[in-house]
Structure 1
Amino acid sequence: MKNKLLIGISTLLILVMAFGVFTLNAPNNISMADETGTDTRLVTVNGQGEIVVTPDLAFIDLGVQTKNVDASVAQQENAKLMTAVVDALKAAGIKADDIKTTGYNLYQTYDYVGDKQSDPYYVASNIVNVKIKDITKVGNTIDVASKAGANNVNNIRFTVSDDSKFYQEALKLAMTNAKGKATAIMSTFNKTPGVPYSVSEVSYGGSIYYDYSPAKALNEAAVATPIESGEITITANVSVGYDY
């Protein structure tokens, strides 16, 4: 009886081991299906949308540069003029929070007259960035600053205070543009684009920059400096993939 029981247990163990080996070697249909799948065929196109808007905000860099053989004198003269410029801007309606110092430099240099080098001197430079919420006053702001002592005016930038809603409209136009391209391409093999398989937002922009020369404001102080804001183009770009 005991021998029969041992023989039965041994036989069972052999069957279990054999089943395990068979299971390990058997193909796993579910895994294979997940790994292989089917190749997705895509048509990928780029779409662009543009919205033209009128700016309602401007930024200007205004600066004062002074020169002197004595560094401390150059600094003092610069501080006096820049204080006058800031005070004039505030008197013209620019809030203190909208005037921000963006750069200050003090360095020694020299000039050349022909082949002869001049004596060294110091240059002090102070630059503030001014936010102008009423863009009709951009030219007047330049004139006010120039009359107060600003001799460095540049980087006039027009933009909109909130471009998010315009950008979202531009995105919609970009998607429409992309679908039009995909429709034209896929029609050549009797297919039409459906719901996009993939969409990537690429980039956008919306600011206009002007390089402005201070000579105009300084030499024509009797005439208001004309500055035209023009229009801003808010651009959205997308990359869209359609499967078929």
Structure 2
Amino acid sequence: MAQRSSAHNHWKPIMTLTGQGQITAAPDLAVIRLGVETTGYNLAQIQSENAQISQMVIELIQEAGNAEVRTADYSIERISQYENGNQIDKGYSVKHILEITTEDIESTGEIIDLAVRMGANVVESISFGLSDPELFYQKALNLAVDNAIEKSQSISGNLRVRIDPIPVRIVEAGHSPSPLLRFQRDAAATPITPGELTIEAVVTADFIYSS
């Protein structure tokens, strides 16, 4: 407990409490990161091979009509390894990573299988999230405020003091990013079943009280 003054009140005792709110929600969005990696000594050749396979993967997914596809990363790297203390040139690696977004959660495994059949050989991750996370966060935020008010009523009753149930100040303790469920690289033919997401909010609230 602390004391604070204001323009309308001289020193008033203040009770500062933390409120927490939490709700769960089923994800309605899947984001898949997969792609094609080709290796070899002829850079132009493996770039061309990578482009052909990547284009087939993109076209097949777009034809399915239930996902958006964009390039997330494209890289060219020299490959080498040490043998008996000597650095040996192993050619090049060309990697094209696609980010596939779909609201059809149940098709996630099928999309991965299609891509792998067309030549995708890198599956980085699968993430499940919410298309409108702010809606759920606001609900959790309201629960956090209610929790702080409930605490003020409980504590004031225990201390036998009178408390104004309307907080004079509320501060969010940071706004967490959209929650995600992540599955790391796994085999395709993949029955993928996401669980529920937990959305949390935390506030600190100041209440005026009197004896």
- Provide the TM-score with structure 2 as the length reference: 0.85
Equivalent in the alignment of 2:105: 135
Superposition pairs for residues 31-180 of structure 1, below 5 Å?
A: 38-95=10-67, 98-113=68-83, 115=85, 117-180=87-150
Equivalent in the alignment of 1:239: 204
Q: Judging changes above 3 Å, is the alpha-carbon distance between structure 1 residues 113 and 182 closer, same or farther for their aligned structure 2 residues?
A: farther
Off by >6 Å, runs of 4+ in structure 1: none
- The answer to whether the 8 Å contact 1:43/1:242 transfers is yes
Gap regions ≥5 residues in structure 1: 1-33, 218-223
Deviation of 1:78 after TM superposition, in Å, equals 1.1
Structure 2: how far apart are the matches of 1:40 and 1:175?
21
Tell me the alpha carbon deviations over residues 58-113 of structure 1, each in whole angstroms, 9 at most, x when there is no partner.
11111111111122122111111111111121232245xx1111111112121235
Tell me the alpha carbon deviations over residues 207-236 of structure 1, each in whole angstroms, 9 at most, x when there is no partner.
22324224x12xxxxxx3111111111212
Gap regions ≥5 residues in structure 2: 1-5
> How high is the sequence identity, in percent, across the aligned residues?
33
Equivalent in the alignment of 1:199: 170
Equivalent in the alignment of 1:189: 159
Structure 2: how far apart are the matches of 1:149 and 1:176?
53
Structure 1: how far apart are the matches of 2:141 and 2:20?
8
Tell me the amino acid that sits aligned with residue 192 of structure 2.
Answer: I
Deviation of 1:199 after TM superposition, in Å, equals 0.5
Deviation of 1:167 after TM superposition, in Å, equals 2.1
Equivalent in the alignment of 1:17: none
Q: Which structure has the highest helix share of the two?
A: 1
Aligned residues: 202
Q: Judging changes above 3 Å, is the alpha-carbon distance between structure 1 residues 241 and 114 closer, same or farther for their aligned structure 2 residues?
A: farther
Deviation of 1:170 after TM superposition, in Å, equals 1.3
Across the aligned residues of Structure 1 and Structure 2, the Cα RMSD in angstroms comes to 2.3
